[in-house]
Amino acid sequence: MVAVPTAALAQVAVGTGGESPSDALARNMKVLGSSPGNFDALIGAGRAALALGDTQAAAGFFGRADEAWSTSPLPQAGIGAALAQQGDGNGALQYFSRAVQRGATQSMIGCDRGLAYDLLGRHRDAQADYRAALFGHDGDEARRRLALSLAITGNKTDALSTLSPLMARGDAGAARTRAFVLALTGDSAGAKNAIESAMPGSASHMAYFFQKLPALRSDQKAAAVNLGIFPSASGLQTASAPPPIPANPVKIIYGRSPKQSAEKPTPEEEDRIASIQEWLSQATKPAGETATTTGEPASTVQVASTSIPTTVSQPSSASPSTTSATRRLWIQLASGPNATALPDQFVRLKTRNRELFEGISGYIAEEPGKARLLIGPFRNDSEASIFADDLASVHIDAFTWTNQPGQSIRKLQGE
């Protein structure tokens, strides 16, 4: 591969010319449709997915980019950013460290690594990173996060001053950030007025949050105002609760469900927290963008090679059918422009892993221009994830997929 300056690659992250993250994702997915290993498109799709809040998809894209160019710092920095957005500061720093070893600069990763530091209560380090990133491709977001970090450490004057350039040009994200700055520094009345101006009708929903925010630990404050994660009696409650990305180098499986807390809040607190989460999810995501992506990673990815103990489990049994009348959960093993090569591929997988595939049949789902090799169906996400882990243990990349009602799915002959 031809070496491209890292700074230039960083600029492909979310597009140019005011392109929205959703448009950037669609553009890069189109490239990946014809060139699945295109490094620039994988990085671009990953950054766009991050901007849309889909950390699992982002990690998948970055992991594939790491396979395409294993010496570039960008994939490791991207996975670090995804972990930071899920609230895992320690895990994120591991990947940022690897990115630095590969040549990443403070200005390149400062916006995302700063968030990881804030989540760990290391606010001085966070602020240094944010300042280094102010004039990079994530400069506006670095400015918002710097303002929040300054407010967390009680520096209201500098926090508001930091936001001034964005406020002057009517940046919606800065207006929401300003409300959080006021709340963090004890001005709950000012915060309510500011959030009402930025998001009409939201002040009453946010009153409880603004009241409780100053009493939180500094790391909890950072999680609350940056990610919409707010502590309650049942532990950390999150607005979107994305599936966790493992901090250790293991396979990332797209589409897992989050683990639920064993403890439950009181009904009154549950309603109040749910209301807060709804508004936090709006207040902490980019203006004008949805929180989930419309793209689908072409496969799961190997973040780093490691062995995982094999535990054999099998999908639930289902009667063969050429049409799926309802939505069902499957694991996709492979895909291609047509179905002709997929049966042989399934035979090879079964031959190499007889114990794992014992008693398991293959299925084909066809769409215009694309066919999928599937196993299943599975009763729930948990069962699918367990079997996906088994596949990962023998280095088979796979991810969960749900068919549309009535979509044609046929069983392979001889299965």
Contact status, residue 101 vs residue 71, Cβ threshold 8 Å: no
Cα(13)–Cα(24) distance, rounded to whole angstroms?
8
Cα(251)–Cα(312) distance, rounded to whole angstroms?
17
- Tens-place pLDDT, residues 33-42: 899 999 999 9
Q: Is the peptide bond before 377 cis (omega within 30 degrees of 0)?
A: yes
Contact status, residue 146 vs residue 113, Cβ threshold 8 Å: no
By mean pLDDT, which of 51-65, 245-259, 383-397 is the weakest? 245-259
Q: Quick one: 195 exposed, middle or buried, by C-beta within 10 A (0-12, 13-18, 19+)?
A: buried
| Joined tokens for residue 143 | 């400015």
pLDDT(169) > 80: yes
Which residues, 6 or more positions from 28, have their beta carbon under 8 angstroms from its beta carbon? 41, 42, 44, 45, 48, 295
Please report how the helices 218-227 and 139-152 are oriented relative to each other, as an axis angle in degrees rounded to 10: 150
Above pLDDT 70, what percent of the chain? 73
Q: If pLDDT is split at 50, 70 and 90, which confidence band does 325 have?
A: low
- Tens-place pLDDT, residues 174-187: 998 999 999 999 99
- Average pLDDT of span 349-362: 85
- Tens-place pLDDT, residues 205-242: 788 888 888 889 999 999 999 988 877 544 444 444 44
By mean pLDDT, which of 22-26, 66-70, 144-148, 250-254 is the weakest? 250-254
DSSP character at residue 203: H
CA within 13 Å, CB half, 307 = 2
pLDDT at 403: 86
Backbone phi and psi for residue 82, each to the nearest 5 degrees, phi listed first: -65, -45
Domains and CATH numbers, the chain: 1-104 (1.25.40.10), 132-246+265-285 (no CATH), 307-411 (3.30.70.1070)
What pTM, to 2 d.p., does this model score?
0.60
What is 369-381 written as a DSSP string? TEEEEEEEEESSH
Contact status, residue 66 vs residue 303, Cβ threshold 8 Å: yes
Q: Among positive and negative, which fits the CA dihedral 353, 355, 356, 360?
A: positive
Which residues, 6 or more positions from 317, have their beta carbon under 8 angstroms from its beta carbon? none
Cα(407)–Cα(415) distance, rounded to whole angstroms?
20
Cα(111)–Cα(109) distance, rounded to whole angstroms?
6
- Tens-place pLDDT, residues 6-21: 332 333 334 445 688 8
Cα(414)–Cα(102) distance, rounded to whole angstroms?
49
Q: If pLDDT is split at 50, 70 and 90, which confidence band does 268 have?
A: low
Cα(185)–Cα(214) distance, rounded to whole angstroms?
7
Task: Work out the widest C-alpha separation in the chain, in whole angstroms.
Answer: 72
pLDDT(281) > 50: yes
- Tens-place pLDDT, residues 60-93: 899 999 999 999 999 999 999 999 998 999 999 9
399-402/370-378 β-pairing: unpaired
DSSP character at residue 248: S
pLDDT at 279: 53
Q: How far apart are the first and last CA of the chain?
A: 42
Q: Quick one: 323 exposed, middle or buried, by C-beta within 10 A (0-12, 13-18, 19+)?
A: exposed
- Tens-place pLDDT, residues 103-162: 999 999 999 999 999 999 999 999 999 999 999 888 999 999 999 999 999 999 999 999
Q: If pLDDT is split at 50, 70 and 90, which confidence band does 102 have?
A: very high
What is 263-332 written as a DSSP string? S---HHHHHHHHHHHHHHHHHTS-TT--SS-S---SS-EESS----------PPP----SB-SS--EEEE
